[in-house]
Homo-oligomer: A and B are copies of this chain.
Amino acid sequence: MKVLTKHTDYAVRALISLGMKSDSWVSAKTVSEEQAIPYQFLRRILQELIRSGLVESREGAGGGVKLSKNPDSIRVKDVIEIFQGKVQVSECMFRKQLCSNRADCVLRHEIMRIEQLVNDEFSKVTIGKLIGDLEIVGKMKQS
């Protein structure tokens, strides 16, 4: 059971890269090399992030992308939802008329609780927080 796909994983790493160089345009090529993410794949991920409003871009030489929000206001939950959709359990939830366990689906009930929990947790984790954690690790390594 894999929680995060490559899309989400790469997106979060890219956002961290951008967040650490806020207010300067960074090319997809640079991020791709820094984070060891396949270039063309990353390009598409960035375009998705742009469409979603987390990132803005400038075309042409010297252009690139940068965060369009404060890193602290970008939640990992948002990134997951962009690439993997909302956390859900299984299909039966959405085809209530078909599912034999519909209203009284006890498993569903239990799982919605867990779903909520996961959502809350991923909401607490922001790009800003991850950058902060990274910097702490960096300082520990220096000493």
A interface, by DSSP: helix, strand, loop or mixed? helix
* Partner of A125 from B9, B13, B110, B137 at Cβ < 8 Å: B110
Contact size range, A = 35 or more
Instruction: Report if A92-B9 is in contact (Cβ < 8 Å); known contacts: A35-B100, A80-B1.
Output: yes
Distance, CA A91 to CA B15, complexed state (A): 19
Cβ of B125 and Cβ of A89 under 8 Å apart? no
Cβ of A2 and Cβ of B88 under 8 Å apart? yes
Cβ of A106 and Cβ of B89 under 8 Å apart? no
- Pick 21 A–B contacts, CB within 8 A, sort by A: A1-B80, A2-B88, A2-B90, A2-B91, A3-B88, A3-B111, A3-B114, A3-B115, A4-B111, A6-B90, A9-B90, A9-B107, A16-B106, A16-B107, A35-B101, A76-B107, A109-B133, A110-B125, A110-B133, A113-B121, A117-B118
